[in-house]
Structure 1
Amino acid sequence: MKTMMARGVAPKLIPLVAALLLTACAAPEFRQPAVSVPAAFKENARDAAAVAGDAGAVRRAADGTTWKVGQPAEAQPRGEWWRVFHDAELDALVAEASANNQNLAVAATRVKQARAIAGIAEADRIPQVGVGIGAQRARLSPLEAALPPGTQAAPATTYSARLSASYEVDLFGRVSANVAAARLDAGTVEATYRSVLLSLQADVAQTWFRLRALDAELATLDRTVQLREESVRVTGRRFELGDIGEFDLARARTELSTARAEAIGLQRQRTNAEHALAVLLGKPASSFGAPARPMAADGVLPAIPAGLPSALLERRPDIAGAQRTMEAANARIGVARAAMFPALNISADGGGVGGAFADVFKWSSRSWLLGAALSMPLIDGGRNRNNVVRSEAALDEAVASYRQSVLAAFSEVEDNLAGLRILAGQGAELDAAVVSARRSADLAQKLYDAGRGSYLELLDAQRNQAAVERGAVQLRGERAVTTVELIRALGGGWDGAAMRTDETAQARN
């Protein structure tokens, strides 16, 4: 009775044991790590009115700069964020950099490599078939030819043609887990490419705006130099007439030389910015030149709404890459676990062997082989167990890196939102300072011309006016650069829709 019960129970346990084995070696179900996502950006809450205005409204900041909420047309290819600046030269520069930048070319070749590696892993899903045709001439010894000792065996030529096939049955998910990991690795590399592309576009835009701001600053200095030249001319005339002493003339010449020296020094900064732009465009610095185009004081800059913090998890390519890295590390746990269990390989071989090539394909010359081999490690010194531990630790590392990427993304957005807010406040004060400085310089000039003020007071007022105007120009450039940096931090988008990259879709298919 007990024997019959044992015989009846044992078959029922086989599916259960098989299921337990499959579960033990399969990749664990991927669980998205918990990340604390704030409901809104702190800077958005601080300045909610600026973000929630009419979509098409044009606003003028305190420093005179015009701002418009960025609302790109739906017909535009998603991601062409630089078009909201409405700068045809910038559009052309970004297109040229995207086509010729060498860092981007390196990233593109890495995408090709990663996709090829994924294709290599995919090849394990199908049987591997090969064909071989050969000829061999040999002379066997009497012993090998099963002849009496001393018998002279004649050399013989044999021809063969064989077709072979092999296939690994994916019993414990090793092949599927390896394919999934390779696909996700390719997704990570593609996300890195998108990140390099976004950084390139942002670098081109920021370098372009810095160049234009430097042109505007040089224009301001040129006006200062002209003012100083006029001052030297007038002061020199008055000195010749005996109205003033040589001291005022010497000070006027000193201020002129100082202004010219500042303009020359600023030319060096512009030259370096021009060379940096050439490298981004994939051109030799010696063969590239950007014409002077000062940034307009009344230029339209887009105000970029930051949206919700949770959207960063889908928009930013670096976070998408970190996500794929986590999933790939999780899949590799399955690969490591499968190595501890049996592997089943099926092989087949068939063909013909003959003394003449024509005999190879005769039915009587046929030969074939069909086999299956089940193999598994017995003693490996803990190699496979430690591979599992290493894979699990790699997943923990990828999770920590993902969380760090998210934290860094939130910080970058907050930094640039705060930067734009602070620059707006700074612009309001500079706007008032420019008005006051111009009025002060005008009054000082009139007092000096009337003989009621000293030349030192006039110089001080003019110097202060030049410094304030130059600071206002620099601020306009900083606001443009910070706007681009905010777009970069947002992943290249500014609307509420998720910007899913191609690699994310491919990895999930």
Structure 2
Amino acid sequence: MTSMNDIRDQALDEALARPQRRPLAQPVVQTVAKFAPRFATVLAALLLSACAAPAFHQPSVSTPAAFKEAQATPAASPEAVRSAADGSTWKVAQPAESQPRGEWWKAFNDTRLDGLIAQATASNQNLTVAAARVKQARAIAGIAEADRIPQIGVGVGAQRGQLSPLEAGVAPGTRMSPVTSYKASLSASYELDLFGRVSSNVAAARGDAGAVEATYRSVLLSLQADVAQTYFRLRALDAEIATVNQTVRLREESVRVTGRRFELGDIGEFDLSRAKTELSTARAEAIGLQRRRATAEHALAVLLGQPASNFGAASDPLEANASLPLIPAGLPSSLLERRPDIAGAQRTMEAANARIGVARSAMFPALSIGANGGGVAGAFGDVFKWSSRSWLLGATLAMPLIDGGRNRSNVVRSEAALEEAVGSYRQSVLVAFAEVEDNLAGLRVLAGQGAELEAAVVSARRSADLAQKLYEAGRSSYLELLDAQRNLASAQRSAVQLRGDRAVTTVALIRALGGGWDAAPASSSANTVALASK
């Protein structure tokens, strides 16, 4: 019986027995041997320079020496600050997006806020999604890294088949018997990174993973800031509701007193009707604020990863003496280090630059080396015998010849993707500077408004007291009293709203600064908290 191994050996012997091609003439061989090393060196240099990924150059961005709205710039370490030709100072940017931002919310000295942010960090679903994407990106980077090392595999199998007489090379009509064979093999393959395809692909995957990790940190910072801002809005609404409820109580007292005076005949029905109108208006405003508070409470529940139906926040009005930290803006160049969105744009640029190398390498040869060794036998027990050994070594050099411009177009696409990433990076920087300036200006303006509103509340309260006494003495009309009371209620509500705006804007500034900042200068104010970046 003829086995499949015998047929294979016979075909191999016939191939070896065929006459070989006539060798090249000796002069031609000598000429090729003489110039081949030179041509090979020049060709290799040209190919390597043509397909390697271009060196990444950090795009230039216009960085101001200091924030325009900053009241004071904290001093940086001498070794980190340089002087420009015009005398201004700037800080050398160092990648710092992976550094911890610190628990900046603890600067508000609010244990309830601390607990809410901890709960949101543990249960928010958007953060869970971002964390899962980080795992995916790291896994993809691991897949790319795997191409750096040889791939080794093992296989064990069995097969049974029957060749036709033609395939076996025997006379037609010969009866062929089925043959069973068993095989065990150990294989290895490896691609030599001649033109940087593997290294560029790894660099691109690492850049993508870095961008996704920066996005995660951006989502985390946004979540923490959203929780803090929603919390302060809720407390500001509680304070506003308390102010309106106080107005309602005053209106109720006014209706009671006015009604009594109407019964005694001291005043007419007009004053009583006006008092009742003011009471109903104040009650309507209080009910409207309850709707806004419910909406804010539900938004906070979503941030905490809880059903809105199961969450409730106790009333906690934001007091006038609530401690708010003073946030130093620092140097604008350090903003490029702290902002996670800028860090993500930076990593995206690096990945796009590496993909140019991947696209270029596709235009040049790829060399792969493979090896396979094992045993093949008709009985499984004979597979691992030395006489059943089988091995194979090979190398494959492959490159495209005609692709219709596909690879060249892919290079152009990759270069355009880098241009897009550079534009996105510069836009992120511009937006970051604008956000810091916006919030610095907001805090400056709100501080001025706060001082004026405090004076307005004092004056309005004095006017309301005088109007009340004049009305009771019969020296002024009820309309004058209502006007004074309305002014006082309006000034008090504006002061409460501004108090909440200052807290929300402070958090917004922290978010715009990337969640970290330099050490703040010492301040004598009781409401100032000096913070240090971590």
Whether 2:107 is the aligned partner of 1:79: answer no
Tell me what 2:394 maps to: 371
Paired residue type of 1:456: L
Q: Distance in 2 between matches of 1:145 and 1:382?
A: 45
Whether 2:62 is the aligned partner of 1:36: answer yes
3-state SS of paired residue (2:301): helix
| Residue 148 (structure 1) shift | 2.0
Q: Distance in 1 between matches of 2:31 and 2:176?
A: 65
Q: Distance in 1 between matches of 2:386 and 2:243?
A: 95
Whether 2:265 is the aligned partner of 1:242: answer yes
Q: Distance in 1 between matches of 2:186 and 2:315?
A: 71
Give CA-to-partner distance per residue, 1:398-418, whole Å, 9 cap, x none: 000000000000000000000
Q: Distance in 1 between matches of 2:269 and 2:196?
A: 94
Paired residue type of 2:41: P
Q: Tell me, which stretches of 5 or more residues in structure 2 are unaligned?
A: 1-28, 76-98, 521-531
For the 8 Å contact 1:314–1:500, the answer to whether it is kept is no
Give the percent of matched residue pairs that are identical in Structure 1 and Structure 2: 78
Tell me what 1:21 maps to: 47
Q: Distance in 2 between matches of 1:448 and 1:212?
A: 36
Tell me what 1:407 maps to: 430
Alignment match of 2:256 (pick from 233, 240, 246): 233
For the 8 Å contact 1:206–1:480, the answer to whether it is kept is yes
| Residue 130 (structure 1) shift | 1.2
For the 8 Å contact 1:353–1:365, the answer to whether it is kept is yes
Alignment match of 2:297 (pick from 267, 270, 274): 274
| Residue 52 (structure 1) shift | 6.2
Task: Kindly report which structure 2 residues correspond to 1:349-364, keeping only aligned pairs within 5 A, or say none.
Answer: 349-364=372-387
Paired residue type of 2:267: I
| Residue 165 (structure 1) shift | 1.0
Whether 2:34 is the aligned partner of 1:11: answer no
Bigger Rg, structure 1 or 2: 2
For the 8 Å contact 2:328–2:518, the answer to whether it is kept is yes
For the 8 Å contact 2:134–2:216, the answer to whether it is kept is yes
Whether 2:278 is the aligned partner of 1:252: answer no
Alignment match of 1:181 (pick from 201, 204, 210): 204
| Residue 496 (structure 1) shift | 6.4
Compared CA separation, residues 321 and 500, structure 1 to 2 (3 A): farther
Whether 2:150 is the aligned partner of 1:127: answer yes
For the 8 Å contact 1:315–1:500, the answer to whether it is kept is no
Q: Distance in 1 between matches of 2:221 and 2:496?
A: 27
423-432 vs 275-284, which moves further: 423-432
Paired residue type of 2:167: E
401-410 vs 155-164, which moves further: 155-164
| Residue 147 (structure 1) shift | 2.6
3-state SS of paired residue (1:43): coil
Alignment match of 1:383 (pick from 406, 411, 431): 406
302-311 vs 154-163, which moves further: 154-163
367-376 vs 12-21, which moves further: 12-21
| Residue 7 (structure 1) shift | 7.3
Q: Distance in 2 between matches of 1:495 and 1:78?
A: 11
3-state SS of paired residue (2:306): coil
Tell me what 2:475 maps to: 452
Q: Distance in 1 between matches of 2:390 and 2:378?
A: 14
Tell me what 1:290 maps to: 313
Give CA-to-partner distance per residue, 1:432-458, whole Å, 9 cap, x none: 111110011011000000000100100
Q: Distance in 2 between matches of 1:347 and 1:99?
A: 48
For the 8 Å contact 1:308–1:496, the answer to whether it is kept is no
Alignment match of 1:221 (pick from 240, 244, 250): 244
| Residue 146 (structure 1) shift | 2.5
For the 8 Å contact 1:437–1:464, the answer to whether it is kept is yes
For the 8 Å contact 2:156–2:183, the answer to whether it is kept is yes
Give CA-to-partner distance per residue, 1:294-342, whole Å, 9 cap, x none: 0011111011000010011100000000000001100011111111110
3-state SS of paired residue (1:219): helix
Whether 2:490 is the aligned partner of 1:464: answer no
Paired residue type of 2:404: G
Number of residue pairs matched? 472
Q: Distance in 1 between matches of 2:217 and 2:139?
A: 18
Q: Distance in 2 between matches of 1:85 and 1:123?
A: 47
Compared CA separation, residues 170 and 77, structure 1 to 2 (3 A): closer
Give CA-to-partner distance per residue, 1:82-119, whole Å, 9 cap, x none: 11001000000000000000001000000000000000
3-state SS of paired residue (1:301): coil
For the 8 Å contact 1:169–1:345, the answer to whether it is kept is yes
Give CA-to-partner distance per residue, 1:231-290, whole Å, 9 cap, x none: 111111111111111111111111111101100000000000000000000000000000
| Residue 5 (structure 1) shift | 11
Tell me what 1:97 maps to: 120
Task: Kindly report which structure 2 residues correspond to 1:319-358, keeping only aligned pairs within 5 A, or say none.
Answer: 319-358=342-381
Compared CA separation, residues 372 and 6, structure 1 to 2 (3 A): closer
Q: Distance in 1 between matches of 2:102 and 2:35?
A: 63
| Residue 15 (structure 1) shift | 2.8
Q: Distance in 2 between matches of 1:371 and 1:339?
A: 21
Q: Distance in 2 between matches of 1:79 and 1:399?
A: 29
For the 8 Å contact 1:180–1:328, the answer to whether it is kept is yes
Paired residue type of 1:34: S
Whether 2:134 is the aligned partner of 1:111: answer yes
Tell me what 1:265 maps to: 288
Paired residue type of 2:506: T
| Residue 362 (structure 1) shift | 1.2
Q: Distance in 1 between matches of 2:74 and 2:466?
A: 43
Give CA-to-partner distance per residue, 1:159-214, whole Å, 9 cap, x none: 11111111100001100000010011000000000000000000000000000000
Q: Distance in 2 between matches of 1:136 and 1:224?
A: 92
Q: Distance in 2 between matches of 1:140 and 1:15?
A: 50
Q: Distance in 2 between matches of 1:158 and 1:423?
A: 86
157-166 vs 338-347, which moves further: 157-166
Tell me what 1:203 maps to: 226
Whether 2:169 is the aligned partner of 1:146: answer yes
Q: Distance in 1 between matches of 2:310 and 2:368?
A: 61
| Residue 9 (structure 1) shift | 6.6
For the 8 Å contact 1:102–1:282, the answer to whether it is kept is yes
Question: In angstroms, what is the RMSD of aligned CA positions?
Answer: 2.0
Alignment match of 1:434 (pick from 457, 475, 489): 457
3-state SS of paired residue (2:64): coil
475-484 vs 161-170, which moves further: 161-170
For the 8 Å contact 2:51–2:196, the answer to whether it is kept is yes
Whether 2:336 is the aligned partner of 1:313: answer yes
Q: Distance in 2 between matches of 1:265 and 1:103?
A: 31
Q: Distance in 1 between matches of 2:36 and 2:398?
A: 24
Task: Kindly report which structure 2 residues correspond to 1:463-502, keeping only aligned pairs within 5 A, or say none.
Answer: 463-495=486-518
**TM-score in terms of structure 1 length:** 0.90
Q: Distance in 2 between matches of 1:235 and 1:120?
A: 82
